[in-house]
Amino acid sequence: MAVYVLVYMPTPYVIYEPGSADEIKPLVTVKNGDKEEKGTFMLTTVLRKKANVALMLASVFDKNEQLAKENLGGRTQQEYTTEQLFNMSNSQTNAMAAAYLHAKIPFDVIMDKLVIIYNNPQLETKNDFQTGDQLISLDGVKFKQYDELINLIQSKKVGDVLKGKVLRNNKETDVMVELIELKDVKGNTRPGMGVNFGIEQKVVPRGSDKEIQFKVENIGGPSAGLMFTLELVNQLTAGDLTKGYRIAGTGTVSPDGLVGPIGGIPHKIVAADREHADIFFAPAQNYDEAKKKYDTIKTNMKLVKVNTVDDALDYLKSLPEKTTK
């Protein structure tokens, strides 16, 4: 009985702890890019694991573990995972756009696919969608832009039943969708599906041979945007921005280079230090939280606050070349 309680009895809790600090260069390829890199850029992660009673007790004695009640916002575990993987894809798209802008390479953003993330758990949706489905067509219409889907739905009425096709597990599957009534913040009603969509996009350089490809697996979330951008700028432009340093960090990035806040930064600070990072870039909105954790660990790593990609680039340009003793 004691073993069951400690190990097998389910609990509503999860544990967050430092994850990894992964080198980015093996994860991206820039065709005809500048490969010189004496140091490295690293993305940082947080490890999230289900907590049994034994792990909950152990977490009390580990200053780097955080026990929290699991909250998926009404989503299933699979829906949560799909959303996190989409967020990672979106961070790559934004990083490409920001990097091309800094490298002064014209580009176009093209919708690649529409992916069903989840049905809104607060609505009584009426459809056959499953998380991860790629929408191929609806009512016989294929979409090149998300606005075309919106226009189609707006041309219908509540209760209309539409036939569609999705790509599910690499196989075309027929689905049915009954439109439901949706309300906006002002109380106005309209027909809709009650579905959270992810819009996957391609960023294509215009008149350039500097195409970018990512090879990222099993990492979710949007927080690698800043570090992806720095690696891409390094490969898209001449010279080595790393100057021999091990550079870690975190932060979302917008296409115009704004760095946004993320979750779990105390764990990412520890993960970076464990991989002997020299520098850690922290979003300005997370800096105080990062500094609080930073001050509790014995490290020579420099903690640097950034609001934009330019802030990080300016800091790197001001560094002398790293010398080895």
Options 59, 91, 223, 305, the catalytic residue? 223
Options 59, 91, 268, 293, the catalytic residue? 268
Length of the chain: 325
Dihedral angle, C-alpha 275, 246, 220, 305, nearest 10 °: 110
Q: Are strands 279-283 and 246-249 parallel, antiparallel or unpaired?
A: parallel
Could you list the pLDDT tens digit for every one of the 325 residues in the chain? 666 556 667 788 899 999 999 999 999 999 999 989 999 999 999 999 898 778 888 887 889 989 888 888 888 889 988 899 889 999 999 999 999 999 999 999 999 999 999 999 999 999 999 999 999 999 999 988 889 999 999 999 999 999 999 999 999 999 999 999 998 888 889 999 999 999 999 999 997 789 999 998 878 889 999 999 999 999 999 999 999 999 999 999 999 999 999 999 999 999 999 999 999 999 999 999 999 999 999 899 999 999 999 999 999 999 999 887 5
pTM check: above 0.85: yes
Domains in the chain, ordered, with CATH?
Answer: 18-46+83-106+208-318 (3.30.230.10), 111-201 (2.30.42.10)
The predicted pLDDT at position 1 comes to 64
**Distance spanning both ends of the chain, measured CA to CA:** 57
**Cα distances (Å, whole numbers) of residue 26 to 39, 42, 211, 299:** 13, 10, 16, 27
Provide φ and ψ at 289, rounded to 5°. Answer: -65, -40
Annotate 234-252 with b (16+ C-beta within 10 A) or e (fewer).
bbbbeebbbbbbbbbbbbb
Task: Confirm whether 223 is a catalytic residue.
Answer: yes
| Angle value at C-alpha 256, between 250 and 261, nearest 5 degrees | 30
